[in-house]
Amino acid sequence: MALLLPAACGLEEPAVGQLNYESAFAGMIVADEPGAVIASEGVLSAGGSAADAAVAMALNLAVSYPGSAGIGGGGLCLVYDGEAERVQALDFLPGAPTQALAEGGPGQAVAVPGLLRGLFALHARHGRLRFESLLIGPERAARFGSPISRALASDLKAAPAGLADDPATANLFEGRGEPRAVGGSAANLELASLFGRVRGRGVGDFYNGALARDLAAAAGRAGLKLNLADLRDYRPTWHDTTTVEEGYATLHLPPAPYAGHALADLWPRLSDDTDADDAVSQLAATARRLAEERGGTALVGTTSLIAVDSRGDAVACTLTLNAPFGIGRGLPGFGFLPAPWPGDGETPPMALGLAVNENSNEFRLAIAGAHGSDPSAGVGALALAALRGDTKLVSGAQTVGWTSESAPALVNLARCPKSISSHPESCRVGSDPRGNSLGRLLLADD
C-alpha cells in the first residue's frame, strides 16, 4: 500500500499515493460537514479507493463534527466491490459494555468505541493507501486547529450543558461559554496525541495494548463503565445486505435490524410501478407517524458520508455517537466523547442504500441519511426517484419527512446513471440543501 504524499517536482508521472495520480475522473465524496470533505479530496486524487476516502472523512469528522461522529462512537457502512461483484454491510456500531455491566458497581455505562476498529476493518479489505497515512490529516487538524463550520456551529447552539467546561470540548467555546463563531478555529491537543499514538502503534493498541489499558483506567477514574475486556473483545462484523429490485438495478439495504423502519416497510409496495404522487404521499405519511411515535424528536448524534472512486467502487456510511455529543463529557486525557449505552436494540435507524446494475456489474447509486425521526423515509423517496429517473418524484420527495413537525432528515447521494468508466460525465453528487453538507465531483481540472 502507498503513503499519501505530495507529488515530487519534475516531469515524472505521479505514483499511487501522490496527489494528482488520477488524471481524469477521481471520484465523488459527500458528507454533512464540509471540512471533512475538503480535507479528504486529496485521498481520491492520489489514487486512493472509496474505502480510503471514507476512512479519511470519518476520521476528519471526529475532529470537525464531534457532536455526531467520533472515536467514542461507531457506524454502519454499505460497501460495493466491483471486482468481487459484491455489496456487503459492515457493522461497527458502538458495542455493549458486557463485562463492565456484569461487574456491576457505580458509574455510568458507556458504549465500547467502534470507530477505529471498524474503519481499520474497512480499510484492511478495501483500502489502497497506507492506513497510517490517512491519520496524518486528522491529527494535524486536531493539533493546529480545524475551522468551525456552519454544520458544527448549528450543533453547538443546542449542545448539552457543561461542554464549555469539559477539556475535550472547551476548545469549541469562547471564554464566556459561547460557541465559537463560524470561521473560527478549534484545536484538540488530546485528540491529536491519541491519533499520533494510533498512527505509531496501530489500531490494535487502542483495543488490546498499552493504550487500551490507559483508556480503561481513565474511564474508571472518570466514573465510567468501560473495561479492558470489553475493548479487547470488540469486533466489527460483515453481513450480507437486504436487496430489492428496481428495473435493471438491485438496491442493497442494511440487513435487519439495522434498516430504517419506513424504508423496510414501504419499499415492497413502492417498487412495482407506484404512481409518483402516491409514493410521496405514503412516504410522507410514514415519516409523520414515526415522528409522532418518537415524540417528534430528531435523532441527532448521527451523520452520513459517501465516497465513490474512479473504478466505481463505493462506500456509504452512517456514523453515530448514540446521542448529541455522546454522553456530553469527554474521556479525560484522550480528547473524545464516549457514546452512551442506551441498551440493546436502541441504536438510531441506519438509512443507507447502494444500487448496482446487475447486468453490467456497475455502480449506479449511493444514498445515506441522518438525523430526523427516521431518515429512511427520505432515503426511500430519493432512491426510488434516482433509479427511475422520475423528476416528478424527485420534486415531491423534497417534502418527505422534511417539515419541522416531522424532524428533518438530511439525505445525501452520489449517482452515475451510466458507466463510470466510459461516461463519468453522467455522474452527479447531491448534498442536502436544507443542511450544511458538501458534495464534490472530482474531475481533472479541479
pLDDT in tens, the chain (446 residues): 655 544 444 445 555 544 454 457 889 999 999 999 999 999 999 999 999 999 999 999 999 999 999 999 999 999 999 999 999 999 999 999 988 888 876 678 899 999 999 999 999 999 999 999 999 999 999 999 999 999 999 888 888 878 888 888 888 888 778 888 899 999 999 999 999 999 999 999 999 999 999 999 999 999 998 889 999 999 999 999 988 887 788 889 888 777 655 565 666 666 556 665 676 667 666 656 665 665 555 556 899 999 999 999 999 999 999 989 999 999 999 999 999 987 755 666 678 889 999 899 999 999 988 876 666 666 766 676 667 665 444 444 444 434 333 445 678 889 998 989 889 888 988 877 778 889 999 876 55
Residue type for position 57: M
Q: Give the Å distances, CA to CA, from 7 to 49, 199, 441.
A: 18, 22, 21
Which pLDDT value is given to residue 177? 80
**Quick one: which of 299, 284, 119 has its CA closest to 195?**
119
Which pLDDT value is given to residue 44? 93
Q: Give the whole-angstrom CA distance, residue 283 versus residue 265.
A: 10
Q: Please check whether residue 129 is in contact with residue 52, taking contact to mean a CB–CB distance below 8 angstroms.
A: yes
Which pLDDT value is given to residue 166? 86
Which pLDDT value is given to residue 142? 96
Predicted TM-score of the model (pTM):
0.88
Q: Please check whether residue 41 is in contact with residue 30, taking contact to mean a CB–CB distance below 8 angstroms.
A: no
3-state helix, strand, coil in the chain (%, to 5): 35, 20, 40
Which pLDDT value is given to residue 411? 83
Which pLDDT value is given to residue 11? 44
**Quick one: which of 253, 279, 251 has its CA closest to 266?**
279
DSSP letter (8 states) at residue 172 = G
- Listed in order, strand segments (DSSP E) in 122-193 are 146-147, 185-186
Q: Please check whether residue 90 is in contact with residue 118, taking contact to mean a CB–CB distance below 8 angstroms.
A: yes
